[in-house]
Amino acid sequence: MSYDGRDVVNIGDFSRQDFEVLFEKAAFMEILDKDEAAEILKGYVVACLFFEPSTRTSNSFQSAAQKLGASVLTPPFNLKQKELDMTSLQKGESFEDTIAMFDGYTDVIVIRHPEIGSAQKAADVAKNPVINGGDGPNQHPTQTLLDLYTMHKSKGTAENLKLAMVGDLKYGRTVHSMAVALKHFSPAYVALVSPKELKMPEKYVEILKETGAEVVETEKIEDASPDIDFMYVTRIQKERFENPAEYEKLKGVYQIGLDTLKHFNKNVKIMHPLPRVDEIKTEMDKTSNALYFEQAQNGIPVRMALLALVTGN
């Protein structure tokens, strides 16, 4: 499928070639002269509609759009009740009407919303491309693009990797998207490390097994193979718990530190979509294993590439 005019809602729609085109374009964005970059989306307007908290995704999309010369609209949808009263949503406007209106004002919509399927709902209404910045616990396709780009850059390939996913595999949308995307990269080994209450949903475990990878589910980090290339750590998704006591019981369950590294090969890279709470100790930050800040930074070229591609530029 060509990128021009395309919605990016479900990472399952991506082909291997789509990933390769994106990686190549992102690498190009990294070396592109600032003035040349600023010509690419000159005159375009990008809407960042965030109905849920976001720091990285929202701001990196804004930065990417601005580096390409576009302007951005960031309506205040992620607000407390009192502030929400100021917007039309509070007047009873439907989600569909809000999307239709922003579709008319802008050239691309980036949306984050707590409901599963919300990005698809927006894509069904909008004529211009819609990019999913996270739909509840379902998917976060652009995070997966930057995660795989980071692995590809770090290892020279995203193929045949050995990895561990650690933490909240039940509610973490980043690991769900990753599980779906990995079918194009023939992973050799995937350890799924979580408390039993936060196990990876069965459908994603099945998808991972279909890749031919050796898939291991465990509660202990030390049970993962010492040979892993990447340890992908996730935050316990507090906001998804119906019962706060359950969150209190599970928070802090994994805290990766220098001690943890002893179990793994010295080149293991630690990744995290961020924000972290306490699942990676700050003592890790200066080690050569820490890849998470570089990973976050890769969000800029990857999102620049994606915005340029979906607008046909």
What positions carry a catalytic annotation? 56-57, 91, 112, 140
Closest CA relative to residue 195, chosen from 240, 112, 254: 254
Choosing from 274, 306, 309, 310, the residue that interacts with ligand NCD (CB under 6 A) is 274
Q: Least distance (Å) from ligand NCD to the CB of residue 274?
A: 5
Applying the rule CB under 6 A, the residues between 143 and 162 that interact with ligand NCD are: 143
Is there binding between residue 141 and ligand NCD (CB under 6 A)?
A: no
- Contacts of ligand NCD in 99-118 (CB under 6 A): none
- Asked if 129 touches ligand NCD (CB under 6 A), the answer is no
* Nearest distance, CB of residue 96 and ligand NCD, angstroms: 24
Q: Does 173 bind ligand NCD (CB under 6 A)?
A: yes
**Which of 211, 204, 145, 200 lies closest to 167, judged by CA?**
200
Scanning the structure block, which residue is given the tokens 């690419």? 40
Instruction: Name the β-bridge partners of 215.
Output: 190
For ligand NCD, the binding residue among 154, 174, 289, 298 (CB under 6 A) is 174
How near is the Cβ of 143 to ligand NCD at its closest, in Å? 5
Q: Is 273 a residue that touches ligand NCD (CB under 6 A)?
A: yes
The site string for ligand NCD over 229-268 (x = CB under 6 A, - otherwise) reads: ------x---------------------------------
Q: Choose between 113 and 235: whose C-beta lies nearer to ligand NCD.
A: 235
CB atoms closer than 10 angstroms to residue 214: 14
- In whole angstroms, how close is the CB of 149 to ligand NCD at the nearest point? 14
The yes or no reply on residue 56 touching ligand NCD (CB under 6 A) is yes
Ranges within 25-44 binding ligand NCD (CB under 6 A): none
92: alpha, beta or left? (left if phi > 0; alpha if psi -120 to 50): left
Question: Measuring CA to CA, how many Å separate 103 from each of 69, 77, 98?
Answer: 19, 16, 9
DSSP bridge partners of 256: 280
Q: Which of 8, 22, 49, 57 binds ligand NCD (CB under 6 A)?
A: 57
User: Residue type for 148, please?
Assistant: L
DSSP 160-176: S-EEEEES-TTT-HHHH
At closest approach, how far in Å is the CB of 285 from ligand NCD? Answer: 17
* Selected binder of ligand NCD within 113, 121, 140, 176 (CB under 6 A): 140
Write out the binding residues for ligand NCD, residues 178-237 only, by CB under 6 A. 235
Q: Hey, which bits of 51-184 come out as E strands?
A: 71-73, 108-113, 130-135, 162-166
Type and span of the H or E element at 189: strand 189-193
d(CA 107, CA 105): 7
At its nearest, how many Å lie between ligand NCD and the CB of residue 219?
20
Q: What is residue 253's three-state secondary structure?
A: coil
Residue 113 structure tokens: 């919303």
Asked if residue 175 lies in contact with residue 169, where contact means CB atoms within 8 angstroms, the answer is yes
Query: Contact positions toward ligand NCD, by CB under 6 A?
Result: 56-57, 134, 140, 143, 173-174, 235, 273-274
